[in-house]
Amino acid sequence: MTQKLGFFPTPYPDECLYSIFCRYYVRSGISSPTVATKRFFGCDKSLLASTVYFPRKLERLGYWVNPDSGITGRKLICEHTAYPYHSISYVDDIYQRMEDAIHDGIPQDGIEDLTRRMIGKCKYTFTGQYLRYCPECAREDIEKYSETYWHRLPQMPGVKFCSKHRCGIKNSSVSFESIRVRIYPASYVLRNMDDRMGGLESQYGEEYFSIAQETAWLLEHGRKFGGHQPISSKYRAFMKKQNYADFHGTSIDRNALRHDFVEKYGEEFIAELLPYDGDPLYWLRYLQESIGFNLRPLHHILLMRFFAGTVENFLNMEVKEELPYGSGPWPCANKLCSHYRKDVAVQTGIRKMGNEVWAWFECPYCGMRYRRSDPGKSFEEYLKKPCFSDKGFIYEERLRECLSNPELSLNSIADMLGVGAGTIGQYAKKNGIDVKKRRKANYYCGAAKSEGETAYYKRRVLEELQKTPIMSCRDLKERVPGAYEWLIRKEPDWIHARLIHEFDKPRWNEWGEAALAELKAAYAEIQLFGDKRKRINISWLARVAGINRDDIYGRLRYLPEMQKFFDEVCETQEEWIRRRYTEIALEKKKAGGKEFAYGDVKRKVQIRRGSYERNRELIEELIAELNDVLFGDEQ
């Protein structure tokens, strides 16, 4: 059926915005199509559509509306629908397809499927809710156009007051369900509207008025955000700035964010504004992911006001990210480099390791790469105990020169380069230098023939002890190659009386005391915050204390106080099995169980491969014992 109404061809009788307009034009008796168009579509801020949120059949716009009327698909979408408001929360594909339709025009096959997805995404209406209106806006419409229209703002969630007149929004007699099958022009429905105007009578009137203002602003300018992706990035920047997230944007204190959010708005207002059955703030946990799926425009309004005061401020505000170690360049840590302590190094990597932030820096002039783990520690303090990942090419050149000099021992080279002798040995091996050959060159063969080997080595040992009174066999091997090997065979008592064990040196005692203090603090932390079901062992304590577990195992036999501490606080595997199995058996008995079996344990405990086989006998005896003691009466 095709009926031409002036310049409005209507090839389809579909119940849509434009067929409604044609019927309105015929029945209204208005002689001028322009006036009819203006009155139908209303002022720039109004909306009359069968779906309220978005008009349908936009692809037929060219058939229904005269091109000279100035009404375009872009104008209808941006100025007469709620799309700008909802655009900040659409997922990427909906947002991009809609923007393409705005810029390139509505495709011939239409956007009906897209429209349905948009309506489903932004749907806040339920059976029993009504089209709403502002009484003062309706009066102004009648004075200006002799008609009134359904405006966009009163239909938006969270809007209880008019942002223009500060009066209360009222329900009409038309429900959202009704408009799916019938057309209810606002002028007809509101002809007997209530003349009384309500002010900001709500307990949270000012808050609701602010939300209405922000909603009105989004209806005009929401597309400026460019979808939810830029908003998501800005949220992460604000969270990092306010210490709710780390430098990667990963949440580190969700409870603090929630606490401050509730502190700003109040629990009662949040519960009234967001009347969910469960937690009204469940969506806060999605700030780092799935924002497009889980956050609605009203959520965004609350968040933007929380971070920046207003939605417009949030759009315009630039957040400068503060990196843990600054913005660089960073100083070089290589004493051999001409740029030592000068800001020339670049950051090559950064990551979070437990409670620490590790970052790697490399100097382009010497190739040295070093790692820092505490942003709060100054560089001068860091240099007292640096951590090098790669010494660089200048260091290797200097090392090669030193190793080529047979007069220098590995300890001497280590002192010159500021590293340990073991590090020198590793680099020597890496560069193909035979350290053993250097040692053989310094053996007794170079001494005077009149002096015997034993006397020669004793004299050399005493000379070194004059320089370094505390010396281990490792030190002696480096300083006087061959001496220890000769004297341990010829004069073992004499050499033992003058050397100490490597781990008996004062620096290792100091390390043991400091490590023990850290381990005790770690144990206290585990007792407060750790999983009580887990077995406390050396590995767990070392990890919490930030100490290398292998360092503890290698030195433990020389640290009796530390061994005593471990004996007191650490559980053996047998003790842990007895404790944990008993706890699980008691839980089952409390739940009304009749018998305890190994399957109950497997459901509660992650058992490593082979653990059951190693402890089979103990486990079987323990299960039988628990069944007899706890479940004997039931059986």
Mean pLDDT is lowest, of 106-110, 534-538, 545-549, for 106-110
| CB of 219 closer than 8 Å to CB of 301 | no
Mean pLDDT of the chain: 76
| CB of 319 closer than 8 Å to CB of 237 | yes
pLDDT in the model for residue 288:
67
pLDDT in the model for residue 440:
47
Mean pLDDT is lowest, of 276-290, 307-321, 363-377, 533-547, for 276-290
Mean pLDDT of 12-38: 42
300-338 tens-digit pLDDT: 999 999 988 999 998 888 877 667 777 778 898 888 888
| Residue 426 scores a pLDDT above 70 | yes
| Residue 447 scores a pLDDT above 70 | no
SS3 label, residue 133: strand
Share of the chain above pLDDT 90, in %: 3
Q: Say which residue, 400 or 622, is predicted with more confidence.
A: 622
Q: Give the orientation angle of helix 297-308 with respect to helix 254-265, to 10 degrees.
A: 90
pLDDT in the model for residue 607:
65
pTM: 0.53
253-289 tens-digit pLDDT: 678 888 888 888 988 888 888 888 788 888 887 776 6
Q: In the structure, what pLDDT confidence band is assigned to residue 60 with cuts at 50, 70 and 90?
A: low
| Residue 121 scores a pLDDT above 50 | yes
Q: In the structure, what pLDDT confidence band is assigned to residue 194 with cuts at 50, 70 and 90?
A: low
Task: Tell me the C-alpha distance between 65 and 277, whole Å.
Answer: 46
Q: Which amino acid is at 118?
A: M
Q: In the structure, what pLDDT confidence band is assigned to residue 609 with cuts at 50, 70 and 90?
A: low
What's the number of CA atoms in the CB half-sphere (13 Å) around residue 391?
18
Q: In the structure, what pLDDT confidence band is assigned to residue 11 with cuts at 50, 70 and 90?
A: very low
| Residue 124 scores a pLDDT above 50 | no
| Residue 590 scores a pLDDT above 90 | no
Task: Tell me the C-alpha distance between 576 and 579, whole Å.
Answer: 5
pLDDT in the model for residue 4:
26
64-85 tens-digit pLDDT: 666 676 777 777 788 778 888 8
Burial class of 501 by CB neighbour count within 10 A (0 to 12, 13 to 18, 19+): exposed
pLDDT in the model for residue 527:
86
Mean pLDDT of 450-472: 81
CB under 8 Å to 403, separation ≥6 — which residues? 413, 424, 428, 431, 433, 435, 438
Q: Say which residue, 330 or 395, is predicted with more confidence.
A: 330
pLDDT in the model for residue 406:
65
| CB of 366 closer than 8 Å to CB of 337 | yes
pLDDT in the model for residue 65:
65
Cβ-defined contacts of 232-236 (< 8 Å, 24+): 232/287, 232/291, 234/314, 234/319, 235/287, 235/291, 235/303, 235/307, 236/287, 236/288
Which residues, listed in sequence order, are joined to residue 356 by a DSSP beta bridge? 353
Residue that is written with structure tokens 């720039």 in the block = 44
| Residue 380 scores a pLDDT above 60 | yes
| Residue 213 scores a pLDDT above 60 | yes
Of how many residues is the chain composed? 635
pLDDT in the model for residue 433:
66
| Residue 634 scores a pLDDT above 70 | no
Q: Which amino acid is at 154?
A: P
pLDDT in the model for residue 606:
67
DSSP letters, 213-249, are HHHHHHHHHGGGG-SHHHHHHHHHHHHHHTTSB-TTS
The candidate with the shortest Cα–Cα distance to 61, out of 120, 11, 97, is 11
Mean pLDDT of 114-118: 74
19-30 tens-digit pLDDT: 344 444 444 444
| Residue 573 scores a pLDDT above 70 | yes
| Residue 111 scores a pLDDT above 50 | yes
**Token representation of residue 295:** 């956050």
Task: Tell me the C-alpha distance between 226 and 94, whole Å.
Answer: 12
| CB of 329 closer than 8 Å to CB of 359 | no
